[in-house]
Amino acid sequence: MNIGQIALIIQVMLAFIGAYLVAVWFAMVVWTYYDIRARSPDIYVHIFATALTLVFHVFGLVLYYVLRPRESLAEAYERSLAEEALLREMEERQLCPSCHQRVDEDFLLCPYCHQHLKRNCPHCKRLLHLKWELCPHCGQSPDADPLAGSRRQSTDVPGGLAETNRRRVS
């Protein structure tokens, strides 16, 4: 081998090494761009992070690793969903307003402090919350007399109590 051939081989090897380093540098820039897009919705942060790696190469990538947000947008979304589900589960638990012990939804009284939690509807006998003004099951007011409706019907019937009273008055 003569010196010309050795120089050509070295030149080709340096060209391959240079092309490889340019490809690695380009891959770092592209990876940084996609990674910051997954971590931040801000376009200025995208530009800054990509330019950091574009200009400073490996040192820019290391600096990007230091500065980048810890979690991606998808991870933050999943975490917020998990927190929301946990809060919903905590809110759905029935607690006694007096002693704050856990009670079942169908308890009429708290087994710990004997606080009234619900009441029975006098019409349909289903459980009602204490604050409800109407029974959602039968539509009646739980405070109304359950026999008032049957008395009113019997007094409105011809020949019933109302007609008898009218005859006595006249």
Q: Are 128 and 139 in contact (CB under 8 A)?
A: no
Q: Are 108 and 119 within 8 A, CB to CB?
A: yes
pLDDT of amino acid 153 = 45
Task: Return all residues near 95 (Cβ < 8 A) that are at least 6 apart.
Answer: 101, 102, 103
By percentage, how much of the chain surpasses pLDDT 90?
A: 48
Q: What residues does each domain of the chain span?
A: 3-70, 118-169
Q: Which pLDDT tens digit goes with each residue over 24-81?
A: 999 999 999 999 999 999 999 999 999 999 999 999 999 999 999 999 999 999 999 9
Which pLDDT score, from 0 to 100, does residue 148 have?
52
Give the Cβ contact number of residue 18 at 10 Å.
Answer: 10
What's the rounded mean pLDDT across residues 105-126? 84
Q: What is the pTM of this model?
A: 0.52
Percent of the chain with pLDDT over 70: 83
